[in-house]
Amino acid sequence: MSDNHTVYQTTEFAKWAYAPVHLMNQEAYLFNTYFEKDRRTLEVGTASGRVLIALQKLGYTDLHGCDFVPEYIEVAKQRKDIEPGSIEFQVQDATELTYADESFDQLIYVGQIISAIENAEARKRAFPEMYRVCRPGGTVIVSVLFYDARMRSIGHRVFALWLRLVRALTGNKESTQYLPWMRQGGKLNLAALVDRSARNYWFRGAEIWGELESVGFKVIGCGTKPQIEARQLYTNVDGLTRQELSTVLYLVCKKTGTA
Ligand SMILES: C[S@@+](CC[C@H](N)C(=O)[O-])C[C@H]1O[C@@H](n2cnc3c(N)ncnc32)[C@H](O)[C@@H]1O
């Protein structure tokens, strides 16, 4: 069975290495609303810099990005559509960043990078790292795969039942919040059906909220695409219960104090 580092180096590589530079509407709204262009900004799990280059085009001046796949960082550094060196790119792992304490005003964890950390202990290390490198008064925008939303679909509930059966037969006690990649490299991933694939971790809303607050952040808003399009972020996850949901949950967090 492969892991997500290998998946991003192989089957998913081209998709993120050569992603067109753009911001999704949800991302554009969140950055416009919660970020400032002159603040020192880091994207963790940047791949080849899709988001950072879009922000540079919008006038952001102090941009940094890292990814744990060195091949993405090579592509990012060679890009012809940015001034060489105008965005600083490094190979770093979200679970053990080497940036100095309190060195960024704004942090970006979109593209569900936290969900891609499949090992529970490693995932737990990513939150204190996020908090450590953020300045007091700083802002973090995070997106994760949203289990509550996914389980609203009958098809996915049936698949979860199937997965439980497969896991029971193989003695695997893992929760169905660990879901195998259903598609890879744009194709159906048949290995998912027999649970022989790399997996992503799908968070419950209260769980990701709790993880962020347990390290010291104050979560000031959350929502999925429909809420963000309606410009109505919620100040607690219960507010989402009766809403139409999509399967990516965005959260905006503040580190208390002043920079
Ligand atoms: C779905 S891609 C999103 C890329 C980019 N954030 C975007 O939205 O365009 C997820 C990225 O997270 C990176 N990643 C996953 N786990 C990581 C980790 N532990 N540390 C650093 N990067 C990681 C992957 O290599 C991949 O580039």
Cβ < 6 A, ligand 1 pocket: 4, 8, 16, 19, 44-47, 50-51, 67-69, 72, 93-95, 110-111, 113, 116-117
- pTM for the structure as a whole: 0.97
Which residue lies with its CA nearest to atom 9 of ligand 1? Answer: 50
The domain over range 4-145+199-255 is classified in CATH as 3.40.50.150: yes
Q: Would you put residue 137 in left (φ > 0), alpha (ψ -120 to 50) or beta? A: left
Q: pLDDT 10s digit of each residue in the chain, 259 long? A: 789 999 999 999 999 999 999 999 999 999 999 999 999 999 999 999 999 999 999 999 999 999 999 999 999 999 999 999 999 999 999 999 999 999 999 999 999 999 999 999 999 999 999 999 999 999 999 999 999 999 999 999 999 999 999 999 999 999 999 999 999 999 999 999 999 999 999 999 999 999 999 999 999 999 999 999 999 999 999 999 889 999 999 999 999 976 5
Query: How far apart are alpha carbons 55 and 32 in whole angstroms?
Result: 10
Residues forming CATH 3.40.50.150 domain(s) in the chain? 4-145+199-255
Q: Which of 100, 138, 124 is nearest to 208 (CA)?
A: 124
The answer to whether the beta carbons of residues 185 and 12 sit under 8 Å apart is yes
Residue among 9, 24, 67, 91 to mutate when testing ligand 1 (max atoms within 8 A of CB) = 67
Residue among 4, 13, 16, 52 to mutate when testing ligand 1 (max atoms within 8 A of CB) = 16
Q: And the tokens for 130?
A: 């996020």
